[in-house]
Chains A and B, each alone.
Chain A
Amino acid sequence: MNILSLLTAVLHSAVVSATPILFAALGEIYAERSGVMNLGLEGLMLVGAATGFLVTYRTHDLVLGVLMAMAVAAFLGLVFSLIVITLKANQVVTGLVMTIFGTGLSSFIGRTVVAQSAPVVFNAIPIPFLVKIPLLGPILFNQDLLVYLLYVLVPVSWLIIYRTRIGLELRSVGENPAAADALGLNVFAFRYLSVCLGSALAGLAGAYLSLAYAPTWLENMTNGRGWIAIVLVIFATWNPLKAALGALLFGCFDVLGFRLQAMGLHISPYFLGMLPYLITIIVLVMISVTSLRAKNPMPKALTIPYDREER
């Protein structure tokens, strides 16, 4: 195996590994830009994974599976929104409980299809002309449909957030909801929609795991990816393009472990299993240390519930 084909193989797998994290992170970027921190991401991803797999298993319909995954996750996102936006409960605790609840719910949903093999999966669809580009071609253009969706979603998200009126309004809601409210923007609507959209994307991320990445359903199969997505959002300073880069980086680390083993290095897989989390901690520390000095790019109203008549 020469270096080039190894590199290609690694990066190809890295893209696959990065996809669920990036979907979840994109969703969270929308939510956090509106001022709401959704720590239920991990639970939502699991619910999406279980739902998507169950539906596809029974109906043999991939699209339906994905859509149902997104719908169920969005519904949970709605419940979350109700509690933290309208009822103004503490976002951190509610998010954590959502994760616990979502984990239990996913186990419940997937209990009949544990470790089954999927009847249909997302297969790689090579794009005819582009896949011939040296190096980048086989890595980027020999992927499945959902990855291609991401190729569109990321730049479009960037455009929406930074270059459209809606994006401007979204940013203002997350930075200074009182200002946005005074100008007639509906803070609640923005937050509800962003959180539900973010939840739907998290559901999609989970469905990708069970219908493309694994593909199967196992309890707790996200294994912390939801949390890594949350760190990724901070790392990317709430910018979709940077999030894509960061996700790819994480994907590389994720795949590296298996590759090293395949190359004959005798490292315990459990040891390597700790690697992504350790890397995440290091990344987090790095971000935190640097933001101690520079201007903080965090949306100023993040995690603070908005109360119009608060005196």
Chain B
Amino acid sequence: MVNVMRDSDKQGWRHFIRIEKRLDVPPVAYVLVLLLSLLLVILLCGLVLARMGYHPLEVYKTMLGGAVGTPYNFSETIAEAIPLILCSLGVSVAFRMGIWNIGAEGQFFFGAFTASLAALYLPSGLPRVVMLTVVIVAGFLGGALWGVLAGVLKTLANANEILTTLMLNYVAIGWVDYLVYGPWRDRAENMPYSRLFPSSAMLPVYPGTSIHAALLLGLLAAVVLWVVFKRTTWGYEIKLIGENPQVARTAGINIARNILLVMLVGGGLAGLAGMGEVAGIAGRLSPNISAGYGYTAIIIAWLGRLDPLAIVLVSIFFGGLNNGGYALQMVGLPSSIVTMLQGAILLFVLGGDTLMRYRIRFLGWRRDNR
């Protein structure tokens, strides 16, 4: 424990407040910090909104209604959560190993591209099961390829993965832009998106909602990852590399191979998210398929402490936030409030993270006798 004594010399008193470092942090403390941060953010943003002339309670009520007000809205929240779940899970695998995969956005787009490729260029007469399988696999492979690209650059050239994955994000988005404004432009409507996918290439949807089959993929991935991390040797290797790569090396673990694997899996999951957006919701490839899911995924993965099940819960929460943001837009309020809220929550959690490691013990007053 770090004992820091505070002297209040001016008064001749010495009050003993010991700030001691905790030796371990119980998960309960973390949840408390999370909730406290949420509360603080709501209060703070409420104050700012009031200053700007908005009515904070109205704003929050609209958001809440948009998120879970009606069963339909709730289903929209779940649908909004699907790409978040997949991208966040993907990002969390790499993070566990200490690899900063910031490229979920680009992997999302590239997976959307390859899924669209399959949907648009496979013979439309194929039975739906086959079509869907190919589209799903194509989406995974596209994202995986985009992720592995950064992985290769890291293992061969030691190129910082934060920067390469980021740059690749812009390249992937640029690629999709090029396609939909160029060769894939829908000639009939002359709009910057591709033509519609055949219905056999569309994912099944829960009737009456936007919830599509990729949700199942997301939940399945969460369960699989949970098992992998808790009980398998590969999960152990990843954890060890993330905690202490030196020790991992002495244990004979092949770090380079694992870098490629996590980028492959992570990219593939983000690619599935992209596939889900084009084959489950949009029905065509366009530049508007992502509301920054790849970046929000990073916040979610961190807030969820890289735990697959927590990530699912946090994703649903953020899906609600996004949905709430759309509701705001519909009444003319800026949806950027939501982005700021999301960022602010994590900023508070990051700060609270450290405070959580200290414990204040008040030992009482004692007159200083000299």
- A touches B (Cβ under 8 A): yes
Which A positions have Cβ atoms within 8 angstroms of B? Answer: 39, 79, 82-83, 87-90, 92-94, 96-105, 107-108, 111, 223-224, 227, 230-231, 234, 268, 270-271, 273-274, 277-278, 280-281, 284-285, 288-289, 291-292, 309
Q: Which of B74-82, B157-165, B220-228, B237-245 contacts A (4 or more CB under 8 A)?
A: B157-165
Taking a contact as CB atoms under 8 Å apart, the answer to whether B350 and A100 are in contact is no
User: Do A111 and B334 have beta carbons less than 8 Å apart?
Assistant: yes
Q: Are B164 and A281 in contact (CB under 8 A)?
A: yes
In whole Å, how far is A283's beta carbon from the nearest beta carbon of chain B? Answer: 10
Would A280 and B167 count as touching, CB distance under 8 A?
yes
Q: Give chain B nearest CB distance to A276 CB in angstroms.
A: 8
Of residues 284 through 338 on chain B, the ones whose CB sits less than 8 Å from some CB of chain A are 292, 295-296, 298-299, 302, 334, 336-338
Q: Kindly state whether residue B355 has any CB partner on chain A within 8 Å.
A: yes
Which B residues are CB-close (under 8 A) to A284?
159-160, 163-164, 167
A-B Cβ contacts below 8 A, count? 135
Q: Is the CB of A274 within 8 A of B102?
A: no
Given the known interface contacts A39-B162, A89-B354, A92-B162, the answer about A277 and B171 at a Cβ–Cβ threshold of 8 Å is: yes
The interface size bin for chain B is 35 or more
14 contacts between A and B (CB under 8 A): A87-B354, A88-B354, A93-B298, A100-B292, A101-B339, A104-B336, A268-B182, A274-B170, A274-B178, A278-B167, A281-B153, A281-B164, A284-B163, A288-B160
Using a CB–CB cutoff of 8 Å, the interface residues on chain B facing chain A are: 2, 100, 102, 153, 157-160, 162-164, 166-168, 170-171, 174-175, 177-178, 181-182, 292, 295-296, 298-299, 302, 334, 336-340, 342-344, 346-347, 350-351, 353-355
Docked pose: A309 CA to B21 CA in angstroms:
11
With A224-B170, A274-B174: A96-B298 Cβ-Cβ less than 8 Å: yes
Cα separation A154 to B164 with both chains bound (whole Å): 27
User: What 6 A-B pairs have minimum CB-CB distances, sorted nearest first?
Assistant: A104-B339, A101-B343, A107-B336, A274-B174, A270-B178, A87-B354
Set of chain B residues within 8 Å of A83, measured between Cβ atoms: 347, 350-351
Residues of chain B within 8 A (CB-CB) of A93 are 298, 302, 346, 350
Bound Cα distance from A82 to B348, whole angstroms: 11
B344 near A101 with CB under 8 A, answer yes
CB-defined contacts of B296 to chain A, threshold 8 Å: 100
Q: How far is A39 from B295 in the complex, measured between Cα atoms in Å? A: 13
Give the CA-CA distance A92 to B163 in the complex, in Å: 11
Contact yes or no, A104 B153, CB < 8 A: no
